[in-house]
Amino acid sequence: MNLFNSRRTALQLIQWPIACLVAGLSLDTAFAVPITVANGNFTNPTVGSFSTYTAGGSPDTIDLPGWSITGSVDQIGSYWEAPPSGGDSLDMNGYDYPGAISQTLTISQAGIAAIDFYMAGNPDGLPQTKTMDVTLSPATGIGSTSFSFTVTGADTESNMGWVSEQALFKITDPGLYTLTFTSTSAPSTPPALVDSFGPALGGVSASLDVPDGGSTAILLGAGMLGVAGFFWVQKRPSTLRS
């Protein structure tokens, strides 16, 4: 075996692991940890076309398990198209006035919490632009946590035009955090029929991005160096082994 070719092969073998080690030392990588959201697809309870829930039920959490209700919301079953995540969805403006839903999440460590959801708008009436706020108290939002959806002529019950949205929050300490979706769509005084056509919400999920200081890339690079070293030993000329 040509000694030069053997050494060149070994150098080629260790190029990528060294690159991984350098990347691990220089980059701030992260990994995602799921955060449990109860009834995020709004499939409990089972409804037909739709069902309306109003705060002050007996108690209101029985109406929509996992969530506490303020104001009024509609759980939508077959009345309109399901979001891409599947399950049911909510009209965040229920009976004549806007509503809000809240749930307590357990977050085990510091990081960046991502709240993912689908948003559309009730196409049956005004206002044309539906608006909604997302909070994760007491965390601080990163960027905008207010969202809007403008209903066009192409948006119907059979083609809602669902849009994937994400709200980000900085988590500094582990603990309990309250996730809240609040309709800010056209409240009027006194409540009127226009307040029954609000933003549509579906497919709520959450995750936590946790910095790992590049340890994933470092471990990968170290493992690849070990493999490269093994092949280096195997490829050395026999004259070098004595």
User: Which amino acid type is present at position 89?
Assistant: S
Take residue 127 and report the two structure tokens written for it: 């206002």
Q: What is the CA radius of gyration of the chain?
A: 26
**How high is the pLDDT of residue 184?**
94
196 has a pLDDT exceeding 60: yes
**How high is the pLDDT of residue 145?**
95
Sequence-separated (6 or more) residues with CB below 8 Å from residue 189:
none
Res. 213 pLDDT band, cuts 50 70 90: low
Res. 97 pLDDT band, cuts 50 70 90: confident
Take residue 12 and report the two structure tokens written for it: 């080629």
Angstrom distance (rounded) from CA 44 to CA 65: 6
Q: pLDDT digit string (tens) for 150-170?
A: 999 999 999 999 999 999 999
pLDDT: which is higher, 80 or 55 = 80
Query: Which pTM value belongs to this model?
Result: 0.76
**Average pLDDT in the 212-234 region?**
49
**How high is the pLDDT of residue 207?**
97
Q: Which long-range contacts (CB under 8 A, 24 or more apart) does 20-24 make?
A: 20/217, 20/218, 20/220, 20/221, 20/224, 21/217, 21/218, 21/221, 21/222, 21/225, 22/221, 23/214, 23/217, 23/221, 24/214, 24/215, 24/216, 24/217, 24/218, 24/219, 24/220, 24/221
For domain 31-211, give the CATH number.
Answer: 2.60.120.260
Query: Reduced to 3 states, what is the DSSP secondary structure of residue 209?
Result: strand
